[in-house]
Amino acid sequence: MKELDLINRQRISPKLWDFSYFHLKNNLEVFRIFREMLIKENKKTILDVGCGYKPWKLLLQKFKYIGMDLDPKYEPEIVGSADNIPLPENSVDGLIYSEVLEHVQNLDKALKELKRVSKNDTLLFISTPFVFPLHGGPYDHQRLTKFFYQEVFKKDQVILLKESNTSLSTPILSINLFLESFLPHSFKFVKIPLYFVFNFLALIIDKITMTLLKFVPHKYKDRFFTFPIGYALIVRIKK
């Protein structure tokens, strides 16, 4: 399977045998909510920053989609970076930053650009890894926490901020991340069955944990989500 086809399939149809299934599944669930909000609020122009192979475009047929990437090989609608978006102020109704912010070196400038091109009430989708191997090197610069998002968007409206999994399943899922990083692609006949097994075990762990959390006082529940594989969130930008 070509890299393009694999990435697009994983983003819009993650499977239990994908090494980062929990992160992919969480991203898709939050993205679907984001898309429904775009439709309900009659948003028009959506900018996908760091679009890559444009997997999200497949779910945004009703909108004017603009893919932006630094690398022309992805055939983006515009070539540009997160810290230098070649669009005017107040020009987009929706923004996508999917697996992008961890690769941005000048994060402050990128966040200013995000605000600059947004209209008032622009909807923003972000997904980033947290417990995750180094990737896309040498352009892997940081891991961002939920406290970071709450702080930088405190003047906006954080509609949803969701962890990919509970902390109890992360050690199991980390085995998949290690295997993906350590074993070459030619070992997929070994890796794929193992991914399925460890994802299935993690799924059981999370199901049990979520059931037990119903009996845990609310003030303690956050402690079970301090070590996720990744985050996905929706923000309404206020200007």
Q: Which CATH architecture has domain 3-236?
A: 3-Layer(aba) Sandwich (3.40)
The pLDDT of residue 1? 54
**Nearest Cα to 228, choosing from 19, 14, 23, 16?**
23
What is the residue-level pLDDT of the chain in tens, covering all 239 positions? 588 888 889 999 999 999 999 999 999 999 999 999 999 999 999 999 999 999 999 999 989 999 999 999 999 999 999 999 999 999 999 999 999 999 999 999 999 999 999 999 999 999 999 999 999 889 999 999 999 999 999 999 999 999 999 999 999 999 999 999 999 888 899 999 999 999 999 999 999 999 999 999 999 999 999 999 999 999 999 99
From residue 136, give the alpha-carbon distance in Å to each of 49, 84, 93, 152, 239. Answer: 16, 20, 29, 25, 33
The backbone region for 75, taken as left when phi is positive above 0, alpha when psi lies in -120 to 50, beta otherwise, is left
The pLDDT of residue 6? 87
How far is the C-alpha of 85 from the C-alpha of 114, rounded, in Å? 8
* 229 CB neighbour count, 10 Å cutoff: 24
Q: 3-state DSSP call for residue 114?
A: helix
The pLDDT of residue 71? 93
Q: For the chain, give every domain's residue range.
A: 3-236
From residue 198, give the alpha-carbon distance in Å to each of 26, 53, 182, 188, 239. Answer: 17, 28, 16, 15, 44
**Nearest Cα to 92, choosing from 30, 138, 44?**
44
**Nearest Cα to 148, choosing from 231, 39, 66?**
231
pTM of the full structure: 0.95
